[in-house]
């Protein structure tokens, strides 16, 4: 696999041997989230207080955008990141300002599905964003994998997955999530990029109202600069906020 770096209009991009973007960083704001789908992967932060999450498992490092955002804006959190390709981590450090902090960012090299099977930890938040150069997910989009993730979640834990909504089997991916989480799974309306973020929740997760979500989004925007209000506006038009409460 080739790892390539490009720059345009003040933004640095990560590619895996093709024009398809695997990650991005605005050079002037290295801890901000440049791509829409990475912003939407932060929606779980709206469902809990500022002291959540404390233990995070991230599968797929990419340009480390999500890692850096959580590192900066959730200082109580410890992140375990599983990356199958060591050269991706090297590129994240060299070109995308991934912090060197072994106390809070634990990089593991290997297959994410194997790691989840072997892990004895329970995580508040599991983030899955793993694709190869041909946009294939392999075992990271299967029912056994989603069931393994659910088993590794804390009582109020959430799984957040980046899916490609333009793929023919996108609906099957959502159904697998729904089966693994016994119906407690949703997929957001997709971004312009063709990415769709899906969430799976275990039994102890809250069911906030739209007003509560908006208030949390305003706090997050004030604290971090991340504006999830447009995402909530799109979500409000979907069946997932029927009756003004998030159906998750």
Q: How far is CA 148 from the centre of its chain?
A: 17
Give the three-state DSSP class for 166.
Answer: coil
CB 160 within 8 A of CB 125: yes
d(CA 64, CA 103): 17
Exposed, middle or buried by CB within 10 Å (0-12, 13-18, 19+), for 237?
Answer: exposed
Q: For tokens 């973007």, name the residue.
A: 21
User: Which of the residues 36, 106, 111, 129 is marked catalytic?
Assistant: 129
User: Which two structure tokens, joined as six digits, stand for 10?
Assistant: 């003040």
Specify the DSSP element, H or E, that contains 234.
helix 229-236
The residues with which 198 forms a beta bridge, in sequence order, are: 161, 187
Residues 6 or more apart whose CB falls under 8 angstroms from that of 34 comprise 11, 24, 25, 26, 65
Q: Annotated catalytic, 129?
A: yes
Strand order in the sheet with 195-201: 105-109, 78-83, 55-59, 123-128, 153-164, 195-201, 185-187
Burial label for 188, CB within 10 Å (0-12, 13-18, 19+), is buried
Beta strands 185-187; 153-164: pairing state:
unpaired
Catalytic residue positions, numbered: 129
């Amino acid at each position: 696999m080739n790892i390539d770096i490009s720059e345009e209009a003040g933004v640095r991009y990560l590619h895996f041997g093709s024009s398809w973007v695997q990650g991005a960083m605005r050079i002037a704001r290295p801890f901000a989230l440049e791509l829409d789908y990475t912003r939407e992967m932060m929606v779980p932060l709206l469902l809990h207080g500022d002291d959540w999450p404390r233990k995070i498992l991230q599968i797929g490092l990419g340009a480390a955008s999500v890692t850096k955002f959580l590192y900066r804006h959730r200082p109580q959190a410890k992140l375990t990141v599983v990356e199958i390709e060591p050269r991706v981590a090297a590129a994240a450090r060299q070109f995308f300002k991934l912090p060197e902090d072994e106390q809070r960012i634990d990089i593991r090299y290997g297959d994410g599905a194997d790691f989840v099977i072997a892990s004895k930890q329970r995580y508040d938040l599991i983030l899955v964003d793993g694709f190869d150069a041909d946009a294939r997910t392999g075992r990271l989009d299967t029912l056994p994998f989603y069931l393994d993730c659910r088993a590794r979640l804390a009582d109020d834990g959430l799984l957040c997955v980046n899916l490609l909504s333009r793929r023919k089997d996108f609906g099957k991916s959502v159904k697998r999530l729904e089966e693994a989480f016994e119906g407690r799974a949703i997929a957001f309306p997709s971004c312009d990029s063709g990415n769709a973020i899906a969430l799976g929740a275990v039994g102890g997760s809250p069911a906030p109202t739209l007003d509560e979500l908006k208030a949390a989004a305003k706090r997050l925007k004030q604290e971090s600069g991340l504006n999830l209000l447009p995402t909530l506006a799109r979500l409000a038009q979907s069946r997932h906020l029927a009756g003004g409460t998030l159906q998750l």
